[in-house]
Amino acid sequence: MEESGDTLARQTVLRIRNAMQGGTFVGMPEVLRLIQELSTKAFSITLNELAEIIEQDVAVTARVIGSANTVGYNPSCTPVTTVSQSIQIIGFERVRNLAISYLLADSASQPLASDEQRETAAFALSSGLFAQALTEERDGDAELAFVCTAFRSYGRLLLTAYLIDDYRLARALAVEKGEDDAFRQVFGLTPLELSNALLEEFLIPRNVLRTLQRVPMLLAKTSTRRADDELFVLTEFSERVCELAMDASLDAGQFKKKADAICKSYGDSYRFNSDGIAPAFQSAVTHYTSFSQTYGIRRPKNDTIRLVAARSENANPPEDIVTAQQERRGRVGELVVNAEIVKMTAGHGKNAKKTNPAVVEAAVKRMESLIREDKPDVGAIQRLAITSFQNAVSLDCGMLLKIENSQVRVVAEVGEAANNLRRPVEGMTIDTHDVFGISILRKEDVLIEDVRIGNASRYLPVWLKLNSPVMSLLLLPILVDGNVAGLFFGLRCRGEPLGMNPATLQALRSMRRQIAQLWQGCRV
């Protein structure tokens, strides 16, 4: 990585560690805490410590004990009433994996989690089960293959839990740049590199930590097949095939052709064969269904599980998933509206360099001080915020909007263009078909860098087109108690299109959090 990439990577790791230590979960169920403990300590804890971690959650304890009393895990039908007994009867590794499986399956079905969180949890479990099935065919350590492959999604699990906005940005960028380059641009490292960085400080065996890396091409082609090498290669192979399976644009024939190419890329020594892929997917579906029934979890209807099921039957992906993926890709090509999007990136064109994060950073520090006062001056804080918002990205119009009962109110404004827009803004109807409705109803940031690109202008409301020329538009929703309580609305009317870099974006988000805190505390 370049030096700037190293710095960004360190910042990302620090942000994740601080969030984990602070116990702050954004939209992710509490079970993620146990996944973290099991993930980071799974290979260094004693039997008693494993039992204590699992017993922290009553639901996990009940599921593990219940599984340990089934014939499949306990053929002798020896009665099991504690987690410690479960470990003694069915083994340390199997109990650990049962607990992780339950937690991932439960996370994949949580209605309050984001789509990205549910899909990532489902992918971690599915890819682990896929690897487990392949390893069983080879008489290898299937339990180890499961946990190593599932752990490759550990960094992604944390990104979707703690840094969801940046994660969405990286996913949007990946359409044009490829996933690894996109994540390095936003975070300084890939999700897999984040997994490795977070887990390497724990007492995890080297052969396991090694699986959290990319397989060197030389090793993929080598004729030597040591057990550690096979585990390393198999985990990456499983992840790559499962990622391919998630591409709904590939029908059954296209998927098989690309899967064949992946198999050949590892040479003949590892004996990967596309004919064995469907049965491995079928095994994953069977295990997933078994978990859902045994653990009493409603089987999630997310795209990951449904795509795995389709691949297991050599069938085409469900049409609604194909359509949904096409729509997401289309939005990136036109408005790119589903999370800051392609334009909010470091070094994107000459415009990104003209943003000034220092203006916002200074304002945030001042706002923190003002909010702590016994009687904070709400108006002054709001004016400070909108002024720094305008100056940071050179806007012709900046507005801070408050939303109550679907009514919009301008609480602070700056710029000459604001005079013509105040009344139309306050009279607007929240419409799902324009950028304001998209931002408010989806709770997502929106940046239109240049309305002349594609069909972006059609997403602008009529009242905006009638009252002001528009070159670029920026909307940042402000959430209070999980609901959109307001918006930062910025407009550049003429001149150069608006660009954004990660430092400025991060500073603006910090300022947005300060306004949310102000409104939540004062209830204005």
CATH for 361: 3.30.450.40
296 and 360 part of one domain: no
Domain boundary residue, one of 311, 333, 355: 333
Residue 16 burial (CB < 10 Å; 0-12/13-18/19+)? buried
Structure tokens, 409: 């109110």
Q: What is the pLDDT along the chain (524 residues), one digit of tens a residue?
A: 334 567 889 989 988 888 777 654 444 445 555 666 666 566 666 777 777 777 776 767 777 787 777 766 777 778 888 888 887 787 877 787 788 887 788 778 776 677 888 899 899 999 999 999 999 888 888 888 998 899 899 899 889 888 887 887 788 778 777 889 989 988 999 999 998 888 877 667 788 888 888 888 777 777 666 778 888 999 999 999 999 999 999 999 999 999 999 998 887 777 888 888 999 999 999 888 877 776 666 655 678 989 999 999 999 999 999 988 877 665 444 434 333 333 333 333 344 445 678 888 888 888 988 888 888 899 999 999 999 998 888 899 999 999 988 889 999 999 888 888 999 999 988 766 788 988 888 788 888 888 887 667 778 888 999 999 999 999 999 999 888 999 999 999 988 888 777 788 888 988 999 999 999 876 44
State the Cα–Cα distance between residues 31 and 242, nearest whole angstrom.
Answer: 24
Residue 12 lies in a domain: no
**Number of neighbours of residue 325 by Cβ within 10 angstroms:** 17
511 and 428 part of one domain: yes
382 and 284 part of one domain: no
State the Cα–Cα distance between residues 388 and 360, nearest whole angstrom.
Answer: 5
Structural domain count, the chain: 3
271 and 388 part of one domain: no
Domain boundary residue, one of 308, 333, 358: 333
357 and 223 part of one domain: no
Q: Is the dihedral of CA 507, 512, 515, 521 positive or negative?
A: negative
State the Cα–Cα distance between residues 246 and 223, nearest whole angstrom.
Answer: 30
488 and 343 part of one domain: yes
Q: Which domain range does residue 467 map to?
A: 335-522
Q: Coil, strand or helix: which one is 257?
A: helix
Contact 385, 367 (CB under 8 A): yes
216 and 143 part of one domain: yes
129 and 276 part of one domain: yes
377 and 262 part of one domain: no
393 and 478 part of one domain: yes
State the Cα–Cα distance between residues 6 and 184, nearest whole angstrom.
Answer: 10
State the Cα–Cα distance between residues 507 and 251, nearest whole angstrom.
Answer: 43
408 and 477 part of one domain: yes
93 and 226 part of one domain: no
